[in-house]
Amino acid sequence: MPAILLTNDDGYGTPGLRALQVALEPLGDVTVVAPDRERSSASHALTLHRPLRMRKQASRQFTVDGTPTDCIYLGVVHPHDRKPDLIVSGINRGLNVGDDITYSGTVAAAFEGALLGVPSFAVSRDVGQGEDYSAAAELAAEIARQVLSGGLPRDTILNLNVPATPPRGIRVTRQGKRIYTQSVDERRDPRGGTYYWIGGQPTSTTSGPDSDLAAVLEGFAALTPLKLDLTDDRTLELISLWPLLADARASG
């Protein structure tokens, strides 16, 4: 049986993670290592400046007082565990499309898996229509079967986003763009100090028709391949022509 490691960024015990676990248990030996509290928007943070505590919650289920990336690191590198054959992160409450990806602890956990050499993918479901994650979990199981048999190219992950309504199918997509309102809510605490709530709501999209968000808005699940190498080839060529780099070109 393959070893499958699960995590998320919404925290241990959340319904998305539970649904994922139930769907993947027929495919392998499932271990859960998840944050002990909500760590959404933790991105790819790694805890290096304080100790981490890992607590056993049930058979093969652990919480960590750290980030989703900490959970994957412990789950893969921990000396007492066998290295997983597959990592799945989710099912996140809310989409991770467009620029959301750079904030997402769910997606970062999959990237950490890829960095550690394990085929990995992330799963997110749109909010709304209650908390029924069964359709997203079934799709995740299909993707898991495929990745377990065929693997993934090194340093890439898959990002699966599922609409809240039962998906009409699945599309292979590109990372799109979602525009948020920009908001800073300034308030006073009881002692007269100022505090802030930051972050707005999604308003519009500049995504093309082949984007992750367009697919989900049309009722399809979106499957996007993402890579760790963030180099932009077009800009690499452009900045190579900058005058300040003329000497480097001449000596190059």
Give contact residues for Mg ion (rule: CB under 5 A): 9-10, 40, 92
Output the residue with the shortest Cβ distance to Mg ion: 40
92 vs 120 by CB, closer to Mg ion:
92
Q: How far apart are CB 16 and Mg ion at their closest, in Å? A: 8
- Residues 6, 22: Cα–Cα separation, whole Å: 11
- Residues 110, 59: Cα–Cα separation, whole Å: 23
3 vs 213 by CB, closer to Mg ion:
213
List the one residue out of 148, 96, 94 whose CA is nearest residue 122: 96
10 vs 36 by CB, closer to Mg ion:
10
10 vs 112 by CB, closer to Mg ion:
10
Residue 216 phi, psi dihedral angles, 5° rounding: -65, -40
Give the three-class secondary structure for 170.
strand
Q: How far apart are CB 40 and Mg ion at their closest, in Å? A: 3
Residue type at 14 in one-letter notation: T
**Where do the DSSP E strands lie in the chain?**
3-7, 29-35, 54-58, 61-64, 86-93, 120-125, 156-162, 170-172, 178-180, 184-188, 194-198, 202-205, 221-227
1 vs 198 by CB, closer to Mg ion:
198
**Residues in a beta bridge with 122:** 89, 159
40 vs 173 by CB, closer to Mg ion:
40
43 vs 173 by CB, closer to Mg ion:
43
Q: How far apart are CB 97 and Mg ion at their closest, in Å? A: 13
In Å, what is the CA distance from 241 to each residue of 245, 246, 250, 252? 7, 7, 12, 13
Q: How far apart are CB 95 and Mg ion at their closest, in Å? A: 10
Q: How far apart are CB 100 and Mg ion at their closest, in Å? A: 10
- Residues 161, 116: Cα–Cα separation, whole Å: 23
Q: How far apart are CB 245 and Mg ion at their closest, in Å? A: 41
Q: How far apart are CB 7 and Mg ion at their closest, in Å? A: 11
Asked whether 175 and 230 are in contact (CB, 8 A), the reply is no
Asked whether 17 and 6 are in contact (CB, 8 A), the reply is yes
